Amino acid sequence: MPPVTAIYPGSFDPVTNGHLDLIERGTKIFDRLIVGVLRNLEKEPLFTLDERVEMLREVTRKWPNVEVDIFDGLLVDYARRRKARVILRGIRAISDYEYELQMALMNRKIEPQIETVFMMPAETYSYLSSRLVREIARLGGPIQGLVPAVVEQRLRTKVL
């Protein structure tokens, strides 16, 4: 069987310990994992694209089969360009399922050769999201244990 490349796409604003948990799981079952950060011109992110990529590269450096990249346009076009056969997505709770199922089926409709694989992060992270992390940080709440140390430091300076 040829090596399998998977794309793990998202906004990663910022990367959380839940994302990292999923990346680590992904490194164990795929030969290559590309973390694809979406260049989304419609959203006003807290961290710039470069900042998000920089933090992701720093926290994934320990895994030699992980690459961090930027993409725009359709995810399946990007996956095809990168010769990825799999899109990896995390499902934390049943509430994620409906949106994820819709995306997975739409992606399959556009490109039937690419499979979406869902993985569950550790249950400790089942309530964790970048949106809540941003909100807690903005309001001065505790974010230790939710994000890697480098992200925690950057969040603190960002929201000061």
List of residues contacting ligand PNS (CB under 6 A): 9-11, 38, 74-75, 103, 106-107
Half-sphere exposure of 72 (CA within 13 A, CB side): 6
Task: Give yes or no for a contact between 82 and 7, defined as CB atoms under 8 angstroms apart.
Answer: yes
Q: Which amino acid is at 97?
A: Y
Instruction: Compare residues 29 and 110 and give the one whose CB is closer to ligand PNS.
Output: 110
Minimum separation from the CB atom of position 54 to ligand PNS (A): 18
Locate the DSSP E strands across 21-110.
Answer: 32-38, 66-71, 86-90
62 is catalytic: no
Q: Answer yes or no: are the C-beta atoms of 130 and 31 closer than 8 Å.
A: no
Q: Which is nearer to ligand PNS, 75 or 137 (CB)?
A: 75
Contacts of 64 (CB under 8 A, 6+ apart): none
| Closest residue to ligand PNS using C-beta atoms | 10
**Of 19, 52, 134, 154, catalytic:** 19
Assigned token pair, 35: 């973390």
Q: Is residue 19 among the annotated active site residues?
A: yes
Q: How far is the CB of 132 from ligand PNS (least distance, A)?
A: 13
- For residue 72, the minimal CB distance to ligand PNS (Å) is 8
Q: Which is nearer to ligand PNS, 93 or 140 (CB)?
A: 93
- Residue 158 annotated as catalytic: no
- 8 burial (CB, 10 Å; 0-12 / 13-18 / 19+) is buried
Q: Does 11 qualify as catalytic in the annotation?
A: no
For the bound state, the minimum distance from the C-beta of residue 10 to ligand PNS, rounded and expressed in Å, comes to: 3
- Active-site residues: which are they? 19, 43, 92, 130
